Amino acid sequence: MGSSISKMKSPTKVYDSSWEIIDRDDPKLFDSGINETEKCALVPDKNADSQHLDKLNYTVMENKFVKLSPDSDWSEYTFVFASVSVGNIGQLAVDLLISSLSNTQKCGYLISNLVQPIAGHNAFVQNSSDISLSCELYENSNLKLVLMQQRSPLLKGKRNQFVQILSDFIKQEKFRESVCLTSSHAYERLDSQLTGVQCRYLASDESNKKNFDQNLNWKILEKRIDHNGNLSTDQDPSLDFFIPGGGISQKFYKSSIENSLNSTVLLVFAHEGNNIPETLQLVNYFNEWKNYLIKPSQWRIPISWKYLFGSTLDSAAQIY
């Protein structure tokens, strides 16, 4: 991924106010009416005595996005986010956008127990004291653009909840449209997909479909039967589109249709490995639509990409 990151182990046991050890997912913790999609990490009560860690009170916090400027109005903005997918291409694409689009600044983050917690160096500024978290928001007010970078995968079984949180956030902020950048396993391609342009789209908005088809000459993702044997049906159009290796992108597209959200999924077929070429294909595909950069050569490689394949040891002494 884009930055040098170390994982922090998430606790499996916590103390409640009576100091009895309980499971963090124990239903007793959530008798106050907080539903499953609102559950989040348990954090120490700010009034607790930090000298007695074995007797800390814990507070339940809901899954939510935190805006650094609460009064920011994003109602006319485009929301772009990465789906953790094959080759991490969606995340690398968002890295490129954040690094290349001038005046893009961090504007928020996600508090959640659905994403694996991590912390690392600033992915875009050398020698910065700022810390990169597992899921952050970036804003470019000139372009009316908000980007979400997700640097770690979802916990097992949390995809539906995460998609619900994303959909609710998009509706709450009244984004004009949302775009999911993702990838799909190249070995799952149909025969008709083996040659030609390796990018595809899905769009819930008819005007976008018309623009993509007629003006940009893009290809919509071909319909097919998925691994579960689901056939194409008019009742559930999301089953027509199968995105193996695409993370939450297929679920998000289905949610967009159900919630009448103006959403687009852009994907590129890829294998695991050095996926910088596919990442550039995807961002150039996206830029062909949005024209954020006049020339593709203006993409600025983030400093964090220095560690895409691990850090280089200059001497044996660095091992210790």
Instruction: Tell me the pLDDT tens digit for each residue of 241-255.
Output: 889 999 999 999 999
Which residues, other chains included, contact 270 with Cβ-Cβ below 8 Å and sequence gap of 6+? 86, 87, 89, 183, 184, 185, 186, 198, 278
In a domain, 302, yes or no: no
Q: What does pLDDT average to over the chain?
A: 79
Structural domain includes residue 315 = no
Q: Is 50 exposed, middle or buried (CB count within 10 Å of its CB: 0-12, 13-18, 19+)?
A: exposed
Phi, psi of 247 (to 5 degrees): 65, -130
> Are 152 and 224 members of one domain?
yes
The tens digit of pLDDT for each residue in 179-193 reads: 999 999 999 998 889
Q: What percent of the chain has pLDDT over 90?
A: 55
Tell me which amino acid residue 3 is: S
Do 150 and 12 reside in the same domain of the chain?
no
The pLDDT of residue 94 is 96
pLDDT at position 298, please? 82
Model confidence at 198, in pLDDT bands (50, 70, 90)?
A: very high
In a domain, 318, yes or no: no
**In terms of domains, do 51 and 86 share one?**
no
For the ranges 29-43, 199-213, 228-242, which has the lowest average pLDDT? 29-43
pLDDT for the residue numbered 312: 57
* 56 & 87 share domain: no
Domain CATH code at residue 135: 3.40.50.10900
User: Percent of the chain, pLDDT > 70?
Assistant: 71
Residue 46 within any structural domain of the chain: yes
Asked whether residue 50 falls in the same domain as residue 143, the answer is: no
Claim to verify: residue 182 and residue 208 sit in the same structural domain: yes
Same-domain pairing of 92 and 41: no
pLDDT tens, position by position, 59-78 = 445 688 999 999 999 999 99
Question: Looking at 15, 44, 62, which one is the last position of a domain?
Answer: 62
Please, are residues 181 and 80 in contact by the beta-carbon 8 Å criterion?
yes
Which three-class secondary structure state does DSSP give residue 64? strand
Q: Among 45, 57, 59, which Cα is nearest to 18's?
A: 57
Q: Return d(Cα 285, Cα 280) in angstroms, integer.
A: 8
Antiparallel, parallel or unpaired: β 64-67 and 105-111: antiparallel
Structure-token pair, residue 232: 């194409």
Task: Assess whether 197 and 233 both reside in one domain.
Answer: yes
User: pLDDT digits over 251-310, tens only?
Assistant: 999 999 999 999 999 999 999 988 999 999 999 999 999 999 877 668 998 888 887 766
Q: Which domain holds residue 57?
A: 5-62
Q: How do residues 203-217 score in pLDDT, each as one tens digit?
A: 999 999 999 999 999
For residue 160, how many other CB atoms are within 10 A of its CB?
14
Are 57 and 42 in contact, with CB atoms under 8 Å apart? no
Task: Report the largest interatomic distance among the alpha carbons of the chain, rounded to a whole angstrom.
Answer: 66
Any domain includes 320: no
DSSP-derived letter for residue 154 is: B
Q: What is the pLDDT of residue 262?
A: 97
Residues near 260 by Cβ (< 8 Å), separated by ≥ 6?
204
- Number of other residues whose CB lies within 10 A of the CB of residue 215: 9
> Is pLDDT at 171 greater than 90 in this prediction?
yes
Q: Which of 79, 102, 275 is nearest to 181 (CA)?
A: 79
Please give the Cα distance from 145 to 126 (Å, whole number): 24
- Phi/psi at 15 (5° precision): -105, 140
CB 72 within 8 A of CB 139: yes
Query: Where is pLDDT greater, at 172 or 192?
Result: 172
Angle, vertex CA 236, rays to CA 230 and CA 240, nearest 5: 55
pLDDT of 141 > 90? The answer is yes
Q: What is the pLDDT of residue 230?
A: 54
Greatest mean pLDDT among 51-55, 221-225, 226-230, 276-280: 276-280
Are 125 and 204 in the same domain?
yes
The tens digit of pLDDT for each residue in 2-28 reads 443 333 334 333 333 333 333 444 444
Q: Verify that 22 and 82 share a domain, yes or no.
A: no
Residue 179 has a pLDDT of 98
pLDDT at 106: 94
- In this model, does residue 161 exceed pLDDT 80? yes
What pLDDT was estimated at residue 15? 31
- For 222-247, what is the mean pLDDT? 68
Which region among 121-125, 237-241, 247-251 has the lowest average model confidence (pLDDT)? Answer: 237-241
35: pLDDT confidence band, cut at 50, 70 and 90? Answer: very low
Q: Please tell me the predicted confidence (pLDDT) of residue 227.
A: 59
Count the domains in the chain.
2
Q: Is residue 198 part of a domain?
A: yes
Q: For residues 56 and 192, state if they share a domain.
A: no
- Same domain? For 174 and 48 the reply is no
pLDDT at 121: 83
